[in-house]
Amino acid sequence: MTRKPVHFYQVGSFAVGNRLLDDENRTVQSNPNRTNSIDSGHRACQGCGEVLGARYALDAAMRASNGQLVAVNATGCLEVFSTPYPETSWRIAWLHSLFGNAPAVATGVAAAMRVKGKSEVRVVAQAGDGGTVDIGFGCLSGMFERNDDVLFICYDNQGYMNTGVQRSAATPPAARTATTVTAGPEPGNVFGQGKDLPRIAMAHDIPYVATATVADLHDLEQKVERAMEIHGARYLHVLVPCPLGWGSASDETIHIARLAKETGLFPVFEAEHGKVTGVSPIRRRTPVEEYLKLQRRYAHLFGPTPRPDIVARLQEIADENIARYGLVTNDTEDSVSTEVTA
């Protein structure tokens, strides 16, 4: 993936906008005429990461498709807070069917567009982690396997937040949810479970798989653009912190997403046809504690009876990711090259 070098130190490589760049080199989000695919008035919590991820991704997809976009949405927070009768927050053509069938519905839409000769219309399917890694998994795998022309975006907030924070196959170890309470010798979600969907997607040999977070808009938008350049099944896995489910302050959403990447707990990379083609190296390596301590779902690790042993196991997971994807490079303390070359 080619990235435009950014030399503007004052504005930094990471701010949303950059008055010193040409318009076409600025982010979609910095454009006053962005689509606002999901518009104001939605009922998302204060500081919701999912609605941010959705607007980032879909606005970028809208730019990439010149507005020729249809979105299919699985049941979940995003759907519930965006379309309670009589108001919808969507500014794009949007369809909600069921919890577990978004990939298949999207396949149908894509097929219809193809048969109708509307090849310019692109299809995006989106779901939370539950609708992706659990109940929607069968349909997703089928869509991948058939290489249907759909970009599937998973907004991963690591649990069933819509129903009141229950555990999903994307809930990380030790995290507290309503169905993984902080009792017993291994409080919270147990270790050694869960699905690594990006890698499962890669195993389908689909043309494009990528992960991203709401903390790095440039990276996210570039990945959406790349995905939209390709036809066939594509998968984008976006980490979107949930203040409610994670027990974090509403203003920490982006900060926490950033730490998830900087600790190595959430590797940010992309792959084509099953092979990793690029990673976003860690810029300022951070111990997992800094990430965990901002979230009440991990409070039991730092309570009256601290659990350094569990924290250490989480650090191991981060270190394994760092090793697997080579997230720490010579540039790790030097953000410039981190962003310029990738």
Partner 1 sequence: METPFAITLDAGTSRANHTGSWRIERPLYVDRLPPCNNACPAGEDIQGWLYEAESGNYEAAWRKLVAVNPFPSIMGRICFHPCETACNRVQVDDAVGINAVERFLGDLAIEHGWALPATALDTGKRILVVGAGPAGLSATYHLRRLGHQVRLVDSAEQLGGMMRYGIPAYRLPRATLDAEIARVVGVGVEVVVGHVVHDIEAERRAGKFDAVFLAVGAQIGRRVDIPAGDSSKVIDAVSFLHQVAAGDPPLLGRRVAVYGGGDTALDAARTARRLGATDAVIIYRRNRERMPAHGEELEQALGEGVTMRWLSTVDRFEDGRLVLETMRLSDQGFPEPTGEYEELDADSLLLALGQDTDLSLLNGAHDVVVNDGVVEVQSTMMTNVDGVFAGGDAVPADRTATVAVGHGKRAARGIDAYVMGTALESAPKHELATFEKLNTWYYSEAPRTQRPELERIRRQTNFEEVVGGLTEENALFEARRCLSCGNCFECDNCFGVCPDNAVIKLGDGQRYQFDFDFCKGCGICVKECPCGAITMVPERT
Partner 2 sequence: MLRQIEGSRAVAETVALCRPEVVCAYPISPQTHIIEAVGAMVKEGLLSPCEFINVESEFAAMSVSIGASAAGARTYTATASQGLLFMIEAVYNAAGLGLPIVMTLANRAIGAPINIWNDHSDAMAVRDSGWIQLFAETNQEAADLHVQAFRLAEELSVPVMVCMDGFILTHAVEGVDILEQSVVDGFLPPYEPRQVLDPKDPVSIGAMVGPEAFEEVRYLAHLRQMDALARIPGIAKAFEEVTGRASGGLLRSYRTEDADTIVVALGSVLGTIKDAVDIRREAGERVGVVGITSFRPFPAEAVREALSKASRIIVIEKAFSIGFGGVLATDVALVVQGADAKVFSVVAGLGGRAITRRSLEDLLAQSARGDLKSLTFLDLDRAAVDRELTRMANTRRSGPSAENLLRDLGSDHGASKVKS
SS3 state of residue 63: helix
Question: H or E segment at 211?
Answer: strand 208-213
85 makes contact with partner 1 (CB under 8 A): yes
Nearer to partner 1, 82 or 107 (CB): 82
Nearer to partner 2, 115 or 309 (CB): 115
Is the backbone of residue 117 left (phi > 0), alpha (psi -120 to 50) or beta? left
**Whether the Cβ atoms of residue 111 and residue 147 lie closer than 8 Å to each other:** no
Member of 56, 94, 160, 298 binding partner 2 (CB under 8 A): 94
Cα angle 325-326-328, degrees, rounded to a multiple of 5: 135
88 makes contact with partner 2 (CB under 8 A): yes
11 makes contact with partner 1 (CB under 8 A): yes
Q: Choose the binding region for partner 1 from 30-38, 147-155, 231-239, 313-321 (rule: CB under 8 A).
A: 30-38
> Which residues in 119-138 contact partner 2 (CB under 8 A)?
121, 138
Cα–Cα dist 77/53, whole Å: 13
Residue 289 burial (C-beta neighbours within 10 Å; 0-12, 13-18, 19+):
middle
CB of 24 to partner 2, least distance (A): 22
Torsion over CA of 236, 267, 297 and 252, rounded to 10 degrees?
-80
> Which residues in 142-161 contact partner 2 (CB under 8 A)?
142, 145-146
Cα–Cα dist 101/140, whole Å: 8
335 makes contact with partner 1 (CB under 8 A): yes
141 makes contact with partner 2 (CB under 8 A): yes
For residue 142, the partner it binds in partner 2, partner 1, none, with Cβ less than 5 to 8 A by kind, is: partner 2
Phi, psi of 271 (to 5 degrees): -140, 145
Binding positions for partner 1, rule: CB under 8 A: 6-20, 26-27, 29-30, 32, 36, 39-44, 46-49, 51-52, 55, 82-83, 85-92, 217, 243, 249-255, 258, 333-336, 339
Binding positions for partner 2, rule: CB under 8 A: 67-70, 72-73, 79-80, 82-86, 88, 90-98, 100-101, 104-117, 121, 138-139, 141-142, 145-146
